[in-house]
Amino acid sequence: MEFIKIQRLFLRYILYGEYHPSLDKLIKSNIINPMDRLNIYRNNTFISLQECLKSTFPVSQQILGEKFFTQAAKKYIVDFPPTNGCLTFYGESFSKFLSSLIEIKNLPYVIDVASFEYAMHQSFYADDYPVLTAEDLTLIPAEKYGDLVLNFQPSLQLIQSFYPIDYIWSIHNDHSIEQMVELKIIKSTKLENYFVYRLANTVYFEKIDQDEADFIQHLKQGMPFEKAFSVISTIYPNFNLTKTIQRLIQFQVLTSYNT
């Protein structure tokens, strides 16, 4: 049999558990039967990828319980297997996948928690660029402000949720609690915004106001400074530009600018 056909038969069994009888002829039995031998590779594949997801989504696992999380991860691996050997960012679509599971209908906030965890993960592994300081900003001539486009550290992530992610996170960090299934989480009518950033080798987050979040989002998307300010101050007349700029400088998320 051509090797490519052998590989496809292996894939069918290792990933999907579909065993083709011709594998019995291809693989030596030698006391342990071929299916048991292939199961070693099947187990290695699933366990290592489940571990990968568990390390990226520890709070989601705590909420769902290890048993359910492991089952959900297994289904995710089958539906969305990795496509290359770099697993650092495997799990990007995991929160969306969770939203498709009817079993977690009574825990809807776990979807936002998973998105938040992935943002923290991305922030942790993001590239670092030299920081733009307050002094650097003062050197920009005032007449250039109109066209000023600010560039951000890729570790800066903005996340929104109707659930109190910060509260859930603080419970998670209480290591006396092993599982959070019993948490009573109430959906708010107000969308909360979280500003995720990294300083040195630690990822932090801050809750920020909607006007700040929208302003930063516009800037991140490349909108010139003056236009972003004009758009935001029209919608939010009380928008505090100074406070927002101070926050961006304090958290070292600005890297450069174009004028």
Is 11 among the residues that bind other proteins (CB under 8 A)?
yes
256 makes contact with other proteins (CB under 8 A): no
Among 17, 20, 22, 40, binds other proteins (CB under 8 A): 40
Q: Is 225 exposed, middle or buried (0-12, 13-18, 19+ CB in 10 A)?
A: buried
Shortest reach from residue 244's CB to other proteins, in Å: 26
- In the list 19, 54, 70, 82, the residue contacting other proteins (rule: CB under 8 A) is 82
The reply on whether position 131 binds other proteins by CB under 8 A is: no
Of the candidate spans 25-33, 59-67, 133-141, 180-188, the one that interacts with other proteins by CB under 8 A turns out to be 25-33
Q: Determine, following the binding rule CB under 8 A, whether residue 21 of this chain makes contact with other proteins.
A: no
Q: Name the phi and psi angles at 229, rounded to 5.
A: -65, -40
81-87's contacts with Cβ under 8 Å and 24+ in sequence apart are: 81/15, 81/49, 82/49, 87/49, 87/52
Footprint of other proteins on residues 182-201 (CB under 8 A)?
198, 201
Report the residue count for the chain: 259
Give, in order, the Cα–Cα distances in Å from 90 to each of 14, 54, 72, 204, 205: 19, 11, 15, 21, 22
Among 17, 18, 20, 44, binds other proteins (CB under 8 A): 44
Binding segment for other proteins (CB under 8 A), chosen from 81-89, 139-147, 169-177, 209-217, is 81-89
In 3D space, the residue among 88, 11, 100 whose CA is nearest the CA of residue 55 turns out to be: 88
Interacting stretch for other proteins, rule CB under 8 A, among 31-39, 93-101, 143-151, 187-195?
Answer: 31-39
**Per residue in 48-83, is it b (16+ CB within 10 Å) or e — as a string?**
ebbebbbebbebbbbbbeeebbbebbeebbeeeeee
Among 17, 20, 21, 28, binds other proteins (CB under 8 A): 28
d(Cα 158, Cα 37) in Å, to the nearest integer? 46
Q: Which residues pair with 203 in a beta bridge?
A: 198
Residues near other proteins, by CB under 8 A: 2-4, 6-8, 10-11, 14-15, 25-28, 30-32, 34, 36-38, 40-41, 44-45, 48-49, 52, 81-89, 124-128, 155, 198, 201
